Structure 1
């Protein structure tokens, strides 16, 4: 049964509907019309199939004369803090057709989504801010959370792989080469093994359980092992590191050197780390590389007592990683 909400607003030409699998085609059309971006239905179905969390369809679309004109996207996540799990949501994929901007649609869709989140027991919503989302969320009284620190690690190769990714005739070849080389290092049962490592339970963070990694397969990422350290990575025009696990610092150091060698084989000149200030990997990277201020993470809390000062964020938390 499709849950449909039509908000009664006097003289309003808009209708508001909760996201459903049947309405994903409307999200797809908005991506194409607003960003000229082709997003497959398979991608959207996988991204918005969040049944593994126990919560589904927490965001809304706006329609004008039956046509989709705006979307406020959000997906639920399971967090853990001091051994206790709870639900949060990450906002993303928000968009409005130019002809319907400045009509309050973003705010209306956001408030509808927040109301639904609260009924489902979600404790707060957060986002990795772009300049646009920062200003729009400021109008909704969002708070500023941690600012992440980024680090570029050079692999020492020319960017021939990055160029290949941009050429239609070579892009597919480079993807196959990346998959083949990643397979050599991909950890068997990596998600299960990652889940068995004791977590920093004093920190509030995404619970990187097996179900989370299974859900994240809608993007080309892999859990790989280098020198005993586990790296959750994506290889596209750069190597992006979503998270790292290691027991000894020398494993991290040697693992990064191996990751550089992988970059050379793929013609990818840079490895990108995104870290939370004060984390072990952040402190090591700060002492060996020049960092830069990256994403500001913002949040809107639905209740009191959430330990935002103990929040540890990883690049892999991002909805598109």
Structure 2
């Protein structure tokens, strides 16, 4: 711990199945809410990639978790071949222990563990507050900027009402399940659409989709299109398999579905230069979204042809 002001820091331990519960405790202390049971256990269970529990937790002298940094191993398809990489995921520091160098220390240890685990490079989508730390202190490279498209929907704001009255949540969940039943696909996800355009992108294999079950998402079929969605404050599109000819009709039908669900907007994030970006940009304004950053771990593997959709980001 020579690189940090370790006042109050007792130890730093590698993430494991045994201490994942401490990540949940830290999340509650930092954000004021507790994730669903088993959330982090599922999120960091990436045994399918032959690398799991990649991260570190710092503890104070009372053996309470005070900081965490973790990455999610996965495979990137580059020139049609799977390459082991990892997405930078959760970064948390207890308010009482910020500005002590813990984030940098935990990140550097995680990068060393990644190299030992055969991970070739890292990628991430930090918010604007975290971006300077990754770039200036940890030598990540920002290579691109994703765009967001927001489609307003005129409807009774059922989702907002439920958020204010949690007692209605179960009723609303049952209602959404009933409405979506006619659209549901048995699939748990869809292949990355950027791969169909000659770009490199994430391999959404069976292991990846099983890991992704930490988040409540659904695949629906509308207008002969396959849409991977998540219902949050709006209808969030993770990825969309649709032909250009069917795009307008699919979006119009998706707006009608959002109206039934009481969702006031549809949202989609994607890399620039993709076909879906062009199709959305013809109808809606592009808004700057997540920065895309990479950190090579000595592999020299080119990443300039990699593209992403919102389904690739760990918060989807």
Q: Say if 1:82 and 1:201, in contact at 8 Å, map to a contact too.
A: no
Residue 279 of structure 1 and its aligned partner are, at CA, apart by 0.3
In structure 1, stretches of 5+ residues that fail to align are 1-6
Aligned mates of 2:60, 2:159 — CA distance in 1: 44
Query: Which residue, 291, 313, 316 being the options, matches 1:318?
Result: 313
3-state SS of 1:88 partner: strand
In structure 2, stretches of 5+ residues that fail to align are none
Residue 141 of structure 1 and its aligned partner are, at CA, apart by 1.4
Instruction: Work out whether 1:116 is the aligned partner of 2:113.
Output: yes
Aligned mates of 2:229, 2:174 — CA distance in 1: 16
Aligned mates of 2:194, 2:310 — CA distance in 1: 20
CA RMSD of aligned residues (A): 2.2
Alignment of structure 1 residues 1-321 onto 2, 5 Å: 12=6, 13-65=9-61, 66-138=63-135, 139-189=137-187, 191=189, 194-195=190-191, 199-200=195-196, 202-246=198-242, 248-321=243-316
Residue 199 of structure 1 and its aligned partner are, at CA, apart by 3.4
Question: Compared with structure 1, are the counterparts of its residues 26 and 286 closer, same or farther at alpha carbon in structure 2 (3 Å cutoff)?
Answer: same
Question: Compared with structure 1, are the counterparts of its residues 49 and 196 closer, same or farther at alpha carbon in structure 2 (3 Å cutoff)?
Answer: closer
Question: Compared with structure 1, are the counterparts of its residues 158 and 132 closer, same or farther at alpha carbon in structure 2 (3 Å cutoff)?
Answer: same
Residue 197 of structure 1 and its aligned partner are, at CA, apart by 8.6
Query: 208-217 or 138-147: which moved more?
Result: 208-217
Aligned residues, how many? Answer: 312
Query: 23-32 or 248-257: which moved more?
Result: 248-257
TM-score (norm 2): 0.92
Question: Compared with structure 1, are the counterparts of its residues 189 and 111 closer, same or farther at alpha carbon in structure 2 (3 Å cutoff)?
Answer: same
Residue 296 of structure 1 and its aligned partner are, at CA, apart by 0.8
Aligned mates of 1:136, 1:300 — CA distance in 2: 13
The Cα offsets for residues 105-141 of structure 1, whole Å up to 9 and x where unpaired, read as 1111001100010111111112211122112212111
